[in-house]
Amino acid sequence: MSKLTAQSRFDVSGKSFLITGATGTLGSEAARALSAAGANLTLAGGNAERLKELAAELPRSSVRVQRRPESAHDAAAMVAEAEDAFGRLDGVLTAAGMNKVSPIVDMPLEDFETVMDANVRGSWLTCQAVGRRLLEQGTGGSVVLVSSTRGKLGHPAGYSAYSPSKAAVDVLAKTLAAEWGPHGIRVNALAPTVFRSELTAWMYEDDEVGTATREAMLSRIPLGRLAEPEDFVGALIYLLSDASAFLTGQVLYLDGGYTAC
């Protein structure tokens, strides 16, 4: 490995990254940050209009793929688009996922399967397609899976599908880190707590429900605030860049200290 300065280790300019779930809150924030840092991006998501809007915001041109990782064909097509556009692939962020909340005794099996398909199956299929390309290239790479603090902790409000799905993502990261380590491919998971998004905006409101829920959360967060999407960016660039060249198989909790309590 060539000797790098501390600052240059974080350089992702010219690298090619695939982002699944690119139109979601974390995926969009990642796309803006990586594009501003000079990376070449392949944006994958199911909403064509939102993909177009996101691409228009970015300072660098990107490739849009209207697909979710629902099948091996979808995942392979995403990787092929990145390869065709930029000649190679250096890493991936799997930001596609979902949740359905219900007490287990009331949850339809179909809802459980939908969550597991989106969070586990989609991550696995994406990793399979990306891994094949990275192994073929033979120059290593970085895979970043999006997990959650709920992969480590239970939840009393109907998370019997979501929490197990994120625990599976954590172990997938560890398993692939062990499998691909000899090839220089690093695999880690980012695990945020609640962050501001369309789904959680109500928790940031100053009405009775939002305030009560927020205060209950804040009582467990040593840093004393809920997360913003931009809190995700620094850790992501660290994991995708050479700054984390000796880090693999880890779950990095972006939670303000929530899991420390």
What positions carry a catalytic annotation? 162
Tell me, letter by letter, the H, E, C secondary structure of the chain: CCCCCCCHHHCCCCCEEEEECCCCHHHHHHHHHHHHCCCEEEEEECCHHHHHHHHHHCCCCCEEEECCCCCHHHHHHHHHHHHHHHCCCCEEEECCCCCCCECCCCCCHHHHHHHHHHHHHHHHHHHHHHHHHHHHHCCCEEEEEECCHHHCCCCCCCECCHHHHHHHHHHHHHHHHHHHHHHCEEEEEEEECCECCCCCHHHHCCCHHHHHHHHHHHCCCCCCCCECHHHHHHHHHHHHCHHHCCCCCCEEEECCCHHHC
